[in-house]
A and B are shown apart, each in its own frame.
Chain A
């Protein structure tokens, strides 16, 4: 499945691996923090509504 990368296989595969890890980490962190802050705000807003 993986094409024959010859003597540069290490360089090519490590470039892809590092980039994918960094991009996936950035996306995951952004979505996780987004969900956490949203939940926190929803809780505060509903508390304000119930408190009047």
Chain B
């Protein structure tokens, strides 16, 4: 079995339809357990007080804001190289999810920043690159809506996605590139010494899994919708020609 089989819309619809109920159940379980554990059952942190509880939303949302763009980059490249329509539609479907994740990361970050840094916003490398990523998401969605021809829209949005990837990467590594600004380094690390305490790490890990699953569920739902919308468009065109 090859991954390219899923480029066939019918195969994609069949497989995603069968998968979706399980993905939704796993999403609800992970988000339910992770957020309840994090909010109700973890102690205050010495340096952050109770604001540490914002971590269970802020970090997963920021991670998915970047990863959604990475997924869009991969599907855009597949469209440009192999011209699979499902791939372009999956990219289109992922953009509003990435945009929402970016907004959550920016808003929760600002709310968290005020009591910790004394300001909602600073022109810090990570914050600024996230704001630019937000603008790229808006531009990407607007470009899809603005162009009538779906193939031309897919081509142009794919190019925009490749350009925007620079900022998606910068959002992730800005703290490492420029050793300045208010934002701290990575919250999660493979190095045990650098990682956050276990009492926060475990529920955070479950929340991260929940956000990944939520992203997968929403991408599947929205891609299925885009495939159906494309079919409607084709039928309308056929009716007009007849």
A interface residues, Cβ below 8 angstroms from B: 3-9, 11-12, 14-16, 18-19, 22-23, 26-27, 30-31, 33-34, 37-38, 40-41, 44-45, 48
Main secondary structure on chain A at its contact with chain B?
helix
Within 8 A of A (CB), among B203-242: 214, 218, 221-222, 224-225, 228-229, 231-232, 235-236
Q: Is the CB of A19 within 8 A of B40?
A: no
In this complex, the interface size class of chain B, counting residues with CB under 8 Å from chain A, is 20 to 34
Docked-complex contact B232 and A30, CB < 8 angstroms: no
Output the least CB separation between B214 and chain A (Å): 7
Q: How far is the CA of A23 from the CA of B228 in the complex (A)?
A: 24
**Chain B nearest CB, measured from A8 CB (Å):** 5
8 A Cβ contacts from B97-123 to A: 97, 100, 103-104, 107-108, 111-112, 114-115
Output the nearest chain A residue to B35 by Cβ-Cβ distance: A16
Closest to A25 in B: B100
Partner of B100, one of A23, A38, A41: A23
